[in-house]
Amino acid sequence: MAGKEIFRVATGKRWGSATFDSVSITLVGLKGESPKQLLDKTGKDFIPGAVRELHPCDRHLGPLLLIRLHKEPYQFFPEDPWFCDFVQLTDPDGQIFHFPCYQWIEGYQDLELREGTGMKLPQLLKATSMNTNIKFSLTKMSTFIARSKLTWSELHNPSESHSLVAFDFSDSPEYVADHWQEDTFFGYQYLNGVNPLVIEKCTEIPAKFPVTQEMVAESLGKTTTLSEELQKGNIFIVDYKMLQGSPTNVINGEQQHLAVPLCLFHQRSSGNLVPIAIQLSQIPGADSPIFLPSDPHWDWTLAKMWVRNADFHIHQNISHLLKTHLMAEIFTMATLRHLPMCHPVFKLLIPHIRYTLQINILARIRLIKKGGMMDQATSAGFEGVGFLVSRGVQQLTYSSLCLPEDIKDRGVESLANYYYRDDATKIWAAIESFMAGFVQYYYWNDDRIRGDAELQAWISEIFKEAFQSREASGAPSTLATAEELTKFLTMVIFTCSAQHAAVNSGQFDFGAWMPNMPPTMRRPPPTTKGTASLEDILKIIPQVNITCIALSSLWLLSKEAGDQRPLGFYPERHFVEEEPRRLIETFQNRLEDISEQINRRNQALALPYNYLNPPFVENSVSI
């Protein structure tokens, strides 16, 4: 004998999910709709984690199309937000229908949920009044504020700034302090440091960087030449030409300075990558000497510090801010504006855009505003941020965001000991496999992709906002095939998760010892050799209070502020079909395998590379 229909309405488990408001439900079928049926009783009925069960009124509505939740005033109580996890209907035959919600319902409103679907979020967001669904949770916000106060208090006690290190549970800062002057470690950072995205193969020495065989003979050894090493593919280069013309800052009444260097590297037979020549400007000449490892110790050390200062600016403004935070913000806004909650791509991406808008708003308030950290403690200052990001946007390419193409374009496929590349490639492949299955399930032919107006509006906005409608960027403005959609979704998720982890998580590790990554320089770059000394360097690097500002910010940004959700962890059940859930499980298993491989590799390393170990990779740009 058939049973009765049962509705289950689940309230979220997070603090504050309950509501005093009156909540009712209406069923809408093909033949009509039911009367409203009250779900709560008196007072705060929907406590956190509660699942309310009820039997709906007898109905003859035909096939069920959707349900409506009505949130209305209750007596004299003020409006009270409610976090609804899901609504579930079990029909008389025992078949279960899922209506996922997983969002805050604010104000008095009617919310329509289709089976496996939900409403569309507001299109415009105000920083002063953000939708609760995109705000930090109480846990995350409390931790973030507490850490902000802690680090800010250190600014007023510079003599105690070393205590910041006490809150770091990594051995990396101490390792960096011990090895920062070594050429092998300098080269290592371009492979596995906080900015592993700028090293490129050099096939021909640029005219603006006239390095000769005689200059590098000692570095290369007696058995080879510069020409031979170029042909073998063992010479690499980093060119900071993007810094040319950047504004420079004034701090504590002192003019700050920024070099525009080029650095040449050699991969030794041992696999170590070492610098062999540095020029601190883009224009060769008598006042722009090429510094060499054979130069006096402090000359060479200072030249490397200028390169690291330049790298700090490219890392913070391009690799980190532009290519992860701002890209993720554009992905977020396009998703919220153009994809309703019932859209499979919305359900796919919502975990990967979690908290992105709020962290970016906080960055604008605390870091990249006039008077923020970037203005108080860096060579380029506030004006430089806008200059560099604007230049970066004009040069941004789709291939630079797609890992396999970026690795190939930079010619670094065979670089030894490039753990970033190795780990990122595995994660990219895992995401790509997940996306291929996802696209095949929801878009079984290309006509469905071309005919999806919401998806096309989504990609169109991203093309316009992220790539400034530049066809030269190589980015798609429309999506026509399963292959194109798979690649683009892979890029989006990789950018929001793994790429951000790679350029964010190690900031304090590599920057805690300030000489390794100086945020600003107080004297101009040297124009002659033989003049540098330790005393000179101490007059060039930032003052103690400026160092404290920079380090406290790096520490805050490097530490996850609670409520972490690692890559592949999807606690909300947005997908009700079996196939996407199977794909998620396969993805999670593959990430576990990748983590095991990384752990085994790291056992043999003096400095383990864990920034792309899946348990330490956040699903979204949330810090």
Instruction: Provide the annotated binding site.
Output: 16, 40, 80, 320, 325, 500, 623
Residue 46 DSSP SS3: coil
Count of C-beta atoms within a 10 Å radius of residue 214: 8
Q: Looking at the DSSP assignment, which residues form a beta bridge with residue 37?
A: 25
- Cross-sheet strand order for the sheet of 290-291: 200-201, 235-239, 262-267, 273-279, 290-291
At 475, list the tokens: 């980015």
Tokens standing for residue 447: 């006509």
600/609 Cα distance (integer angstroms): 11
Q: What are phi and psi of 508, to 5 degrees?
A: -75, -35
Q: In terms of Cα–Cα distance, which of 282, 268, 277, 272 is closest to 299?
A: 277
For residue 207, how many C-alpha atoms fall within 13 Å in the half-sphere facing its CB? 0
**Taking each helix axis from N to C terminus, what angle separates 482-494 and 419-442, rounded to the nearest 10 degrees?**
130
CA atoms 404, 613, 577, 31: torsion sign: negative
What is the SS3 assignment for 64? strand
CA 152 from centroid of its chain's CA atoms: 24
Whose tokens are 């020409």? That residue is 227
Which candidate, 287, 271, 270, places its Cα nearest to that of 279?
A: 287
Q: Is residue 574 within 8 Å of 347, Cβ to Cβ?
A: yes
Q: Where does 493-588 show beta strands of DSSP type E?
A: none
Could you list the residues known to form a binding site for Fe cation, using ranges.
Answer: 320, 325, 500, 623
Q: Where is the binding site for Ca(2+), in residues?
A: 16, 40, 80
Please classify residue 433 by burial: count the beta carbons closer than 10 Å to its beta carbon, then call 0-12 exposed, 13-18 middle and 19+ buried: middle
**Distance (Å, rounded) from C-alpha 11 to C-alpha 14?**
9
CA distance 108 to 70: 8
Backbone region of residue 508 per phi and psi (left: phi > 0; alpha: psi in -120 to 50; beta: other values): alpha
Tokens of 532: 């540098």
Residues sharing a CB contact under 8 Å with residue 148, sequence separation 6 or more, in sequence order:
366, 556
Burial 504-536 (b: 16+ CB within 10 A, else e): bbbbbbbbbbbbbbbbbbbeebbeeeeebeeee
d(CA 384, CA 378): 9
In one-letter notation, the amino acid at residue 330 is I
Pairing of strands 235-239, 200-201: antiparallel
Residue 103 CB neighbour total at 10 angstroms = 22
What is the number of H-type helices and E-type strands within the chain?
22, 16
Tokens of 583: 């794909």
Q: If we measure between CA atoms, which residue out of 185, 146, 159, 168 comes closest to residue 512?
A: 168
Query: What are the two backbone dihedrals, phi and then psi, of residue 251, each rounded to the nearest 5 degrees?
Result: -125, 130
